[in-house]
Homo-oligomer: A and B are copies of this chain.
Amino acid sequence: MAKQKQDEGQAPKLTINDIARMAGVSKKTVSRVINRSPLLNRETRDRVETIIRDTGYVPNPQARALALGRNFLIGLVYDNPNVQMILSMQKGILEALHGTEFELVIRPVDRGSNLVMEDIRSFVTRQRLFGVVILPPMSENDALARMLDEEGCRYVRMGSAVLDDPEHMVASNDREAVADAVRHLIAQGHRRIGLIAGPHGFRSAQERREGFELALKEAGISLPRSLVADGQYTFESGLSASESLLDLSPRPTAIFASNDEMAAGVLYAARLRGIAVPEELSIIGFDDTPVTTRVWPPLTTVRWPIVAMGRAAALKLIGTAIGEDAEVNEPSMFSSTLIRRGSVAPPATS
């Protein structure tokens, strides 16, 4: 079989034994070179390293995985409505992994299923993953974190709240970011501001809501229950949730939607009713997804550094593995920025 393969023209893959033979040392010594063992004579190391470089030898990852009981694979676990976020996160993680021996394995799961936990467990144990990055809202599941601890699998949770566990977390401060956005509305003169909240059970939804309430409270503005509508982070839910707000009399002069998709829904609803944005209604979204610049007017929104957060998460995971000396001091908390576009104006003076 092996010989046949060679005949077929594949590069005859080099093994550690070949290198050892060429260098006139034992395979263990080659292994030491590869793993940067400090117990090596300088000359021997240099000689072996030269041969490795010249031959282009790369250790077989499967064999290493077997011997070490651990793979050089990072898993990305998500169950998420936000397509843009998944892709940006992938981008960030892949940036960090680029040039290392790590690969990214992706794994969508069904949060609703009662098999999620077993599903993820078998994912990390079967493949002997080096570590996993968990996206919200799965990341808010503490039982999952405990399970991963038990299994001895490293993990980083992405979140949207003040950190309680910086070592295993990368988060953005959604509450403060939303408060800033709403302060901006208030500074423009708005007093009747509606909220389209995110789904129950999402930490980000709760944080954003609290930020909203915080800003109003600071300004001494009361928040009647009628100015709050529930959404599901989807365009359609934003569209329908905004109807109850736009039916109000007096109508709110501004609406904060807990994400851009829902903000786009508000904008769409406004157009259906002939309400001019931003003249008669100001809108602010959250996420800074591309849709904000495709619609008219472009939406004012809150941008969080999602790619950078993905990169940080990956570096936190692999940091201990690659740079022994290079201290891994990735920030755990990221702050967001209000991006001012065309969907906010002072309220009509009526």
Interface residues of A (CB under 8 A from B): 5, 8-11, 13, 58, 60-63, 65-66, 71, 73, 83-84, 86-87, 90-91, 94, 103-108, 122-123, 125-128, 150-152, 235, 261, 264, 268, 271, 290-291, 293-296
Which residues of B have CB within 8 Å of A60?
66, 126, 128
A87 partner, pick from B58, B66, B83, B235, beta carbons under 8 A: B83
Distance of A103 Cα from B61 Cα, bound (Å): 16
Contact between A290 and B235, CB atoms less than 8 A apart? yes
How far does the Cβ of A310 sit from chain B's closest Cβ, in whole Å?
13
Contact between A94 and B108, CB atoms less than 8 A apart? yes
Distance of A138 Cα from B127 Cα, bound (Å): 29
Distance of A9 Cα from B151 Cα, bound (Å): 8
Most buried by B among A60, A235, A291, A294: A294
Contact between A106 and B107, CB atoms less than 8 A apart? no
Contact between B126 and A61, CB atoms less than 8 A apart? yes
Please name 7 further chain A to chain B contacts, defined as beta carbons within 8 Å, in addition to the given A58-B126, A62-B128, sorted by A numbering: A5-B152, A11-B125, A86-B87, A235-B290, A271-B296, A291-B291, A294-B295
A103 partner, pick from B87, B127, B268, B294, beta carbons under 8 A: B127
Contact between A58 and B106, CB atoms less than 8 A apart? no
Contact between A63 and B61, CB atoms less than 8 A apart? no
Distance of A294 Cα from B298 Cα, bound (Å): 12
Which residues of B have CB within 8 Å of A122?
58
Distance of A71 Cα from B90 Cα, bound (Å): 22
Contact between A9 and B103, CB atoms less than 8 A apart? no
Which residues of B have CB within 8 Å of A291?
290-291, 294
Contact between B293 and A295, CB atoms less than 8 A apart? no
Which residues of B have CB within 8 Å of A107?
103
Q: Given that A87-B86, A294-B268 are known contacts, is A104 also in contact with B103, CB under 8 Å in the complex?
A: no
A295 partner, pick from B73, B83, B295, beta carbons under 8 A: B295
How far does the Cβ of A56 sit from chain B's closest Cβ, in whole Å?
9
Distance of A208 Cα from B75 Cα, bound (Å): 37
Distance of A61 Cα from B73 Cα, bound (Å): 13
Q: Given that A94-B106, A122-B58 are known contacts, is A152 also in contact with B8, CB under 8 Å in the complex?
A: yes
Which residues of B have CB within 8 Å of A271?
296
Which residues of B have CB within 8 Å of A268?
294, 296
Most buried by B among A90, A108, A268, A290: A290
